[in-house]
Copies of this chain bind each other. A is one copy, B any other.
Amino acid sequence: MDLSIDKGILQKAQARAIDTRRDIHKHAELGLIEFRTAALVANRLNELGLEVSVGKEVMDESSVYGLPPDEAVAQGFARAIEEGADRALIERMRGGCTGIVGVLDTGRPGPTLALRADMDALPIVEHGGRDHVPAREGFRSVHEGVMHACGHDAHTAVGLAVAEVLAANKDKLSGKIKFIFQPAEEGGRGSLPMTTRGVVDDVDHFIAIHVGVGVPSGVLCPAVTGHLASEKWDVSFEGKAAHAGGWPEQGANAVLAASNAVVSLYGISRHREGRTRINVGVINGGSGRNVIADKASLIMELRGETQDILDYLTRRGEAVIKGAALAQDVSANIQVVGKTTTAGSDAGLARMIADACTTVDGLQLRLDPHITGGSEDATFMMHRVQQRGGDAVYCAIGSDLPSGHHTPRFDIQEADLGPAIEALAKSLLSLSQ
C-alpha cells in the first residue's frame, strides 16, 4: 500500500488551507445563508476537477428547519454577491440549501469514502483586542456580530486541502471520495436535509472532523463519541389580552401559561437508560405592565443520551406544553428548529486511520473513546452510514484553545491544521486502496 504523498503538493495545500481559513473567518456567515462560503467551496472543488453538486441536488428542502427570516436571507444573499459570489451559483442555494458535495471519482472499482466538514458561523461579536490573533492579524470578522467561534472555518479549509492533495494523487486511489460541506451545524439544521437527500447512502467509510472539543494540540482522535441526540424548539403561546385592572377575567394569560410550562418542563422525569437534558434558554412575553399578556415564547432544547430517550423527552415535553396551554385557555405552537441524533465512532475504522497515520510527524493518535456532552448533527450522516453497513468516525483535530467554543475570544492553533491535513489525506488514501 503506497501512502506516500509528495511533500511539495502537501505543503502547498497546507499553506493554502491557512489562507482559506482566514478568508472564511473574515467573512463569517450564519447557517443556511453561507452563500459566499459555499460559493468559494464550490469554485475550489470545480478547479480541482471534482464533480460538484449544489443546493437541492444535495439537500432535501422539505427537511430544512429553522431558516432565518426572509430579510436576513436577502441581506446575506446580497452581501455574498457584493463580496464576489457568483449570482447564478448561489441562486441554486436558496431555501437554505447551501450544502455542497464534491466527488473525486477514480472510475476504478473500490469503496466510497466521505469526508465531512461544516461551514457556518455563530451570532457572536468577535473580540477586537490585540490579544486575539484574528484581530491582530487582520482577519477578524468583517460581518459584525457574526463569528467563526467554533472552528468551522478551519474544517472547511481542511476539507478543501485534503481534496486538493487527493485530487493530485488520483492515480493512487480507487473507488470514489466524497467531500461533503454541510451548512448550519449550529442549531442542528444542515445535516439532516443532506442525509435525507441520500448524500451518504453509498458511503462505506465516513469521517466527520472537528477541531478542538477538548483534545489538545498534537493529537488526532478519530474516536469521539457520546453526542446527545437533541431537538431545538421554538414555542409560542397565544392567548387574549385584557386590561389587568379592569377586566382581568377576560384575558387568556400567555405569560402565565409559558411560565407554567417552564416550571413543568424542567420537572420531566429522568430516564433509566441514560442522560437527559432540558433547557429553556430564553423566555419572552407580554406587552405592557397592566395588560394580561396575549403572547409569550420559549426558546428551548431537549437532549438525550439515545434517540429513544430523546423521543421520550419530546413526547413528554409536548404534553407539558399542551397541558400548560390548556390550563390557561391559550394555544401553543411548537416549532422544531433543529435536530441531532447519536452515533458512536467505529473502533475498527479508527484503528485503520491510526494505522495510516503512523508516518505523520508529531501527531499522536488517541483511540480510546473521547466523550463529549454536546450535540452534533453529523451524527445523522454517521448513523445512516452505519445503518447501511458502513462505518464512521467523528474525528477530533486536537488544538489548544485560548478560549472555549462559542466565546468571543475563541481561536485555534493554525499549526495544528497541517498535520491533520496530512493525516486525513493518508487515511483516505489508505481506505481507498
Q: Identify the A interface with B (CB < 8 A).
A: 187, 228, 230, 232, 243-251, 253, 255-256, 258-260, 262-264, 266-272, 275-293, 296, 299-301, 303, 312, 316, 319-320, 322-329, 373-375
Contacts and interface: CB of A to CB of B under 8 A. Distances in A.
Contacts of A187: 289
Contacts of A323: 322-328
Contact of A270 (B256, B258, B276, B283): B276
Contact of A267 (B244, B263, B284, B374): B263
Given A270-B276, A277-B244, A283 B255 contact: yes
A243, A277, A290 — most chain B CB neighbours (10 Å): A290
A248 B263 contact: no
Given A245-B228, A289-B232, A316-B329, A263 B271 contact: no
Number of copies: 4
The 6 closest A-B pairs by CB, nearest first: A323-B327, A244-B279, A266-B267, A323-B326, A282-B286, A259-B262
A248 B264 contact: no
Nearest to A404: B243
A272 B246 contact: yes
Nearest to A312: B249
A289 B283 contact: no
Contacts of A259: 258-260, 262-263, 280, 283
A290 B277 CA distance: 10
Contact of A280 (B286, B300, B373, B374): B286
A246 B327 contact: no
A301 B245 CA distance: 9
A285 B287 contact: no
Given A267-B256, A324-B323, A279 B248 contact: yes
Given A248-B272, A327-B264, A284 B283 contact: yes
A269 B249 contact: yes
Contact of A263 (B263, B275, B322): B263
